[in-house]
Structure 1
Amino acid sequence: MYQVLARKYRPRNFNELVGQNHVSRALTSALDRGRLHHAYLFTGTRGVGKTTIARILAKCLNCETGITSTPCEVCATCKSVNEGRFIDLIEIDAASRTKVEDTRELLDNVPYAPTQGRFKVYLIDEVHMLSTHSFNALLKTLEEPPEHVKFLFATTDPQKLPITVISRCLQFTLRPLAVDEITEHLSSILSKEEIGVDQDAVWQIAESAQGSLRDALSLTDQAIAYGQGEIRHQDVKDMLGLIDRTIIYDLILSIHQNQRQRVSELLMQFRQQALDVSMVLDQLISTLHELALLQYLPELSLKYSAEINRKITHLSQVISAQDLQLYYQVACKGRADLQLAVTQEQGFEMCVLRLLAFRPLSVNELPVSRTVSSVSDNVPVQTDSAPQSALSQTLETPPAELPVQIQVAPDEPVHEASSENENNDVQPEQKQVADQSQQSSAEQENDQIVFDPNHGEVLFGDDLIAESVETATVAAADISDTDELNLFDPVESSTESVMPQNMNEPSPQQDVQQQEHPSVTDESALPAIQATEIPMAVQEAVIAETADKLMPQQILEIPSQDMSGEWDAKKWEYWFRNSSLSPAVQELAQHGVMTGQIDGSCVFHIPQQYEKLLHQLQYALEEALKQQWSATVFSVQYGEVNEITPFTMQNERKQKAFNRAEEMLHQEPVIKELIQAFDARLENIELK
């Protein structure tokens, strides 16, 4: 009679056991040393070897050669255990014997000596199914059983066991088997059975088993029957109803490359095949997870077949890590919302459309909206890959064709499209686009222009505010040589001294530049601004000038300082607020000012009222300074501090941030409507 693979190839000793090395090692050592416990608890998911290990242990305890970790397999006891007829191995299904009467009947036979073997072994499977009264009846016997009795418990849900039972047992947690372990074991069994098999099919069965070796062997039996004595990859996919991974890879690549036609074809294919979209989405999320692992932790990624490994490696090289994280987050959110949609198909397709809609902009890609498309054909932008007329046509493209890629040559000048604009007043829309084009030269490192039409801002560099640089860039609108131009000079960058009242009249600075550079005309190129060349003091001045446009949290930020040269209040505050000093020391340090040389002789000036506190905390402050600058010679001077202290600077920042927050709050449309409708006013505004 045919015997299923799961029973035919059940391990009969610890050497044949697949995986679970941590369990077999502990039990083998205990058997060899004679350190045997009276109760063992084996936990883990289905099909990982709980009952099998319990039977092996019972055989080791009763083998006629003695207590050993390697039973002989030839004595009457070993044969009886293998055939399931050993009288002193009492196997009980707790799911069918849950009543306390069943437990009491079982315990009535415990005092009697074993009939045939050395120990009487009680193997209780699914022990968590016992009732509370059954556990209570078992406790006393379980704690102090007779010497000839061993209890072996197996369960898939140890959380349901009373802690009093768990504390009386040695607990071993069996882990799910890895795909590689199952694949290797299946290949060995199929080789013994002389079954023709595809390696990809074996791997697919091992992955579908989800860590259960018994499930894998059952699926193998089913695949042999389905394939009429052979196991083929396509047959396994058809049998399990699996989705071809190639389709998932094509879908991810099409979404990343914004190939809408290909995405539409794949969605239509899903509809025609009536696939389970929840399974498709699960496979999509799993693939994104594998791609992320392959990029950062390749040793943790699954070992696929050669064909799948090649494709997934290609995908991991094409898609950036940031994009993968975004795709994974959107897909997981779509998986959670799948049950809220009218139909699962609708929820899945909306998730795919969301992946397309929130696709990150690639390098040199410009989002174009109706605001930009309304600009006339005389936009002063010129590309190195298309003439001016082609660009004008591109800017008029309706939103359905967005986004549009525009390559801007960093070294070529940008000219106006028509010479007639020289004699006419500059229209506001044209001036806006010209200013945006001038600011874009600050992105010379990657030549990327990102325009926000809703706010009229150009984002570039280290997130400098567009308005803060606009003043400096407008002054250089007609200058092409940036090597001899200091755009951020405090005097030359002011709009009063640079910009003439009439836009068509050259400024004095422009005349000087045209004399020095005869080749420069009124249509000269925009200068390339390197944000990294801006002096620290000038950056602070620009930020202070545009403080009315900053967010409150930006106002509260402490500007970075160059920690060299002499101490001043700004350097002192920047250092101690970013140091590892305790809050108490920092609280004291903000009331004083440091003078002298950094990494040299320095004096800390602080009012006399803080002398007692500083006397206790001076050592910590001095040690922190010397740890960073070993040549520091630190001293303290008590007296009146006439300079601005960090405490005063912090309060000024807080006040400015509060004023800015209050201003922004009053500008909110909802607040305006409430104030206007109810003649209301805001009170007790707090900035946290």
Structure 2
Amino acid sequence: MYQVLARKYRPRNFNELVGQNHVSRALTSALERGRLHHAYLFTGTRGVGKTTIARILAKCLNCETGVTSTPCEVCATCKAVNEGRFIDLIEIDAASRTKVEDTRELLDNVPYAPTQGRFKVYLIDEVHMLSTHSFNALLKTLEEPPEHVKFLFATTDPQKLPITVISRCLQFTLRPLVVDEITEHLSNILNKEEIKADQDAIWQIAESAQGSLRDALSLTDQAIAYGQGAIQHQDVKDMLGLIDRTIIYDLILAIHQNQKARVSELLMQFRQQALDVSLVLDQLISTLHELALLQYLPELSLKYSAEINNKIMQLSQLISAQDLQLYYQVACKGRADLQLAVTQEQGFEMCVLRLLAFRPLQPNEILVSQTQVANQPIQPAQQPIAQQVQSIPQVDEVQAISPEPETVSAAVDHLDDEYYDDDPFNEPSAVQAIEDEQSSDDFLEQELESTVEPVQVVQAMVEATPVQPESNADQIVFDPSSDDALFGMDEELAATSPEQEAEKYNSDDFLFDEIAPLAEPALSEQTKIPVQEVKQPEVTESVATPPQDSLFDLSSVPAVDAVETSTVSTMPQEMIDTALMPQDILKLQPQVLEGVWTVDKWEFWFRNSELSPAVQELAQQGVMTGQINAESIFNIPKRYEALLTQLQHALEQALKSEWPNTHFQVNYAEVETTTPYTMQNERKAKAFQRASDLLHNEAAVKDLMQNFDGEIQNIQLK
């Protein structure tokens, strides 16, 4: 009678075991030294050798030659184990015997000595299927079994086992086999069976097994029957419903080269063959991953035929790393959305079309959506500025009129560097010729280069536009980095008559007059020295340094310059609040954490501690009383009891880690005094009011509100 390959070639000793060297080494060493445990747990995916190893171990324990790691295979015990009729090897399928009554019946026979062998071995397969009561009934016997009893457990889902069972066993995790190990083992078996097989077909079977040797042997049996005694590559692909890898490579190449007709042809081919599009998409993603990997590991050995290997290497060199990452991201997103589509075919085709639509531009490609507009001559400067700007080609059209690099460099140098500090067109890379090999991102840089031409045209038109001259005395040069800038501006505005101010703000060319000074170094009105060179007055100690990322420029407000700290401390609280910056009002005053707990000390400690945000939120709702590093009582309203019960341990540990003698207690009662939460809200209100006052007192803001009837809305502190 025919015996399937998975049973015929089941390993019978540790030497024949495939791919589990870490397990066989440990068990062999234990058997040779006599250090045997009473319970073993073997975990791993299906078909990796859990039950096989358990049977080999049972044979090693009961071989008539003695406890050995190399059973003789000729004695009655070894033959009985191999044939599955050894009476002292009790194999139990836990999936069919889950009840506690079955477990109790099993345990009733544990005290009796083995009938034939040296040990009575209980092999429980799929042990995770036992019920909770069964595990509880097994615990005591599993921890202290008789000397003649060994427990061998096998499971594919160890997470379902109680930790009390796992802790009583030696656990061995069997890993999935790699493709090379499965391929070599299948080749040896097929040679023994004298069956002809293509190497590519064997590799395909090994890859489809996904690490399971039993699955690989079952697929091999199926392939032999399908191929009528031989294993051919095409037969294996047809049997498994796989697609030809060359089609995937052709699809990626057609997408990358924007061959829309070829992409359409391949999509129709997929429809005609009625392939599983989810498998096609998986193969596409795997191929993209393989291509990306080859770019960084070119020495990676490939297991395909010479023709396929050649195509893979060509694709990896043709497609840039940036493009591969984009393709991979789009394909993975399409795979996730496959179940959301009306049909899987529709989702797959939309994913391919999305790959084609978002394909990056290649170095030899340009957009020609509005080439006619790009070829039109630029209108003369006599036209209104708005019309001339509208006639300037957009970024995707300027490629046709891109100037020479020398012209662009001259145009950029003509403009003031200070005015274009944040302009991306002023980067040196924008005017350099690209000499290295270009990718899709390099073409985007070429597009940015071409946009310098419209800037030059706009500058020429602005210079050609007639502007009414105006004296420099009426121009306001404001340097935000100067603390005295506002004082100088206030004096200058005060020296200007109302009639001059009205004439200045009513001028039609006001906006261009304000831009004009930026084109050349701004001069101080009195000394004619560039503003950048004016040094700030040295201050011995400043109370506050405003942040650079505030919503308004606090650096220009001379609120507390040259004010000594000692002077501020002697002011009344109202004057201090109006002299400090908002960020200083929000700061906590440093406290000496000694003696009696106060609200200020409590808030200063927990807001500067390493407590989690949740614990700090809870701490600000209560007040600590008592002595620091002694009896400390945390007073908090009763409504926070449930939350404090969960977080009390973290708060207590933080206190004791800093003050070991702390005796922490909790008092649930309404807090009559001010809490840190209330104090923080008061500080926020004062800081907001101070920020609002500073903003309204800005000279520039005052001018805008006075001349344009403006108002400030939605003030925020960040």
Provide Cα deviations, 1:215-244, integer angstroms capped at 9, x if missing partner: 000000011111110000011111111111
Deviation per residue, 1:312-354 (Å, 9 max, x gap): 1221111111111111111111111111111111111111111
Say if 1:40 and 1:171, in contact at 8 Å, map to a contact too. yes
Q: Cα 1:223–1:680, aligned 2, differ >3 Å: closer, same or farther?
A: farther
Q: 1:60-108 CA deviation, whole Å, 9 max, x = no partner?
A: 1111111111111111111111111111110000011111111000000
Q: How does 1:583-602 map to 2 (within 5 A)?
A: none
Alignment of 1:56-67 (within 5 A): 56-67=56-67
Summarize the Cα distance change of 1:185–1:326 in structure 2 as closer, same or farther, 3 Å threshold. Answer: same
Contact 2:405-2:431 at 8 Å conserved across structures: no
Equivalence for 1:445: 433
Task: Give the counterpart letter for 2:433 in structure 1.
Answer: E
What is the CA deviation profile of residues 261-313 of structure 1, one whole-angstrom value per residue up to 9, with x for unaligned ones?
A: 11010001111111111111111111111112222245777633333222212
Question: How has the CA–CA distance of structure 1 residues 459 and 10 changed in structure 2, closer, same or farther, with 3 Å as cutoff?
Answer: closer
Partner of 2:267: 267
Aligned partner of 2:339 in structure 1 is: 339
| Aligned residue number for residue 614 of structure 2 | none
Alpha-carbon distance in 2 for matches of 1:264, 1:228: 37
Which residue of structure 2 aligns with residue 243 of structure 1?
A: 243
8 Å Cα contact 2:124/2:152 also seen in 1: yes
2:375–2:400 contact (8 Å) kept in structure 1: no
Do the aligned partners of 2:243 and 2:280 also contact (CA within 8 Å) in 1?
Answer: yes
What residue in structure 1 maps to residue 50 of structure 2?
50
Distance (whole Å) between structure 2 residues aligned to residue 88 and residue 203 of structure 1: 41
Contact 1:459 1:465 in 2 (8 A): no
Name the residue aligned to 1:683: 714
Counterpart secondary structure, 1:282: helix
Letter in structure 1 aligned against 2:714 = E
Name the SS for the 1:124 alignment partner.
strand
Structure 1 residue matching 2:47: 3-state secondary structure: coil
Give the distance between the partners of 1:379 and 1:353, measured in 2 at CA: 38
Judged with a 3 Å threshold, the aligned counterparts in structure 2 of structure 1 residues 684 and 244 are, in CA distance, closer, same or farther, namely same
Q: What SS class does the counterpart of residue 200 from structure 1 fall into?
A: helix
Q: CA RMSD in A?
A: 4.4
Distance 1:93 1:83 in 2: 18
Alignment CA distance shift 1:238-1:475 (3 Å): closer
Unaligned 5+ segments in structure 1 are: 381-394, 397-401, 415-435, 451-457, 478-494, 503-541, 547-567, 570-586, 592-605, 614-654, 660-678
The 2-side partners of 1:284 and 1:247 are apart by 10
Q: Give the distance between the partners of 2:60 and 2:397, measured in 1 at CA.
A: 71
Give the aligned partner of residue 105 of structure 1: 105
Tell me by how many angstroms 1:444 deviates: 3.0
Does the C-alpha gap of structure 1 residues 447 and 189 become closer, same or farther in structure 2, counting only changes over 3 Å?
closer
Q: Is the 8 Å Cα contact of residues 459 and 466 (structure 1) preserved in structure 2?
A: no
What's the CA shift string for 1:653-687, capped at 9, x where partnerless? xx9xxx9xxxxxxxxxxxxxxxxxxx999524455
Alpha-carbon offset, residue 407 of structure 1: 11
SS in structure 1 at match of 2:154: strand
Counterpart contact for 2:198–2:231, Cα < 8 Å: yes
> How many Å separate the matches in 2 of 1:437 and 1:201?
57
Give, in whole Å, the separation in 2 of the partners of 1:437 and 1:38: 76
Residue 446 of structure 1 aligns with an amino acid whose one-letter code is: I
For residues 175 and 307 of structure 1, the distance between their equivalents in structure 2, rounded to whole angstroms, comes to: 32
- Quote the offset at 1:413 in angstroms: 8.3
Q: Distance in 2 between matches of 1:249 and 1:54?
A: 45
Q: Which amino acid letter does the alignment assign opposite residue 91 of structure 1?
A: E
In the TM superposition, residue 463 of structure 1 has moved relative to its aligned partner by 7.9
Instruction: Go from structure 1 to structure 2 and tell me whether the alpha carbon gap of 1:258 and 1:144 turns closer, same or farther (over 3 Å shift).
Output: same
SS of the residue corresponding to residue 197 of structure 1 reads coil
Instruction: Output the CA distance in 1 between the equivalents of 2:427 and 2:25.
Output: 69
- Residue 71 of structure 2 corresponds to 71
What's the counterpart of residue 200 of structure 1?
Answer: 200
1:277 aligned residue: 277
Q: Deviations over 1:29-82 (max 9, x none)?
A: 111111111110001111000000000111111111111111111111111111
Structure 1 residues 277 and 460: CA distance shift in structure 2, 3 A: closer
Answer yes or no: is the 8 Å Cα contact 2:425–2:449 preserved in 1.
Answer: no
When normalised by structure 1's length, the TM-score is 0.60
Letter in 1 for 2:66: G
Deviates more, 1:296-305 or 1:70-79: 296-305
Q: Distance in 1 between matches of 2:84 and 2:146?
A: 24
Cα distance change on mapping 1:441 and 1:112 into 2, 3 Å: closer
Q: How does 1:22-171 map to 2 (within 5 A)?
A: 22-171=22-171
Q: Residue 291 of structure 2 corresponds to which residue in structure 1?
A: 291
- Please tell me the residue identity of whatever aligns with 1:170: L
Q: Distance in 2 between the 1:607 and 1:301 partners?
A: 73
How many Å separate the matches in 2 of 1:144 and 1:196? Answer: 54
Q: Deviations over 1:510-550 (max 9, x none)?
A: xxxxxxxxxxxxxxxxxxxxxxxxxxxxxxxx9x969xxxx
Over 3 Å counting, the alpha-carbon distance change for 1:272 and 1:465 in structure 2 is closer
Alignment partner of 1:19 is 2:7: no
Give the secondary structure class of the aligned counterpart of 1:210.
coil
The residue aligned with 1:374 is 373
Larger radius of gyration: 2
Structure 1 residues 364 and 120: alpha-carbon distance in aligned structure 2, compared to 1, 3 A threshold: same
SS in 1 for 2:70: coil
2:21 alignment partner AA: N
Give the deviation of 1:365 after TM superposition.
3.3
> What's the secondary structure of 1:151's corresponding residue?
strand
- Kindly report which structure 2 residues correspond to 1:389-428, keeping only aligned pairs within 5 A, or say none: none
Asked whether the 8 Å contact 2:398–2:451 carries over to 1, the reply is no
Equivalent residues in 2 for 1:572-591 (5 A)?
Answer: none
1:441 & 1:72 partners in 2: Cα distance? 77
1:442 alignment partner AA: A
Q: CA deviation at 1:406?
A: 6.8
> Aligned to 1:171, what secondary structure does the other structure show?
strand
Q: CA deviation at 1:117?
A: 0.9
Equivalent residues of 1:205, 1:220 under 8 A apart:
yes
| One-letter identity of the residue aligned with 2:210 | Q
Structure 2 residue 174 is matched with structure 1 residue 186: no
What residue in structure 2 maps to residue 385 of structure 1? Answer: none
C-alpha distance in 2 between matches for 1:261 and 1:438: 42
Counterparts in 2 of 1:35 and 1:406: CA distance versus 1, 3 Å:
farther
2:221, 2:39 → 1: CA distance?
35
* CA gap 1:55/1:299 in 2 versus in 1, 3 angstroms: farther
* Post-superposition CA distance 1:553-575 (Å, at most 9, x none): xxxxxxxxxxxxxxx99xxxxxx
Provide TM-score, normalisation by structure 2. Answer: 0.58
Contact kept? 1:409, 1:447, Cα under 8 Å: no
User: What is the distance in 2 between the residues matched to 1:231 and 1:4?
Assistant: 16
Equivalent residue number for residue 556 of structure 1:
none
- Asked if the contact 1:10–1:52 (Cα under 8 Å) also holds between the matched residues in 2, the reply is yes
| Residues 51, 125 of structure 2: 8 Å contact kept | yes
C-alpha contact 1:365 1:406 (8 A) present in aligned 2: no
Contact 1:290–1:302 at 8 Å: present in 2 too?
no
Tell me the SS of whatever aligns to 1:74: coil
Matches of 1:194 and 1:607 in 2, distance apart?
98
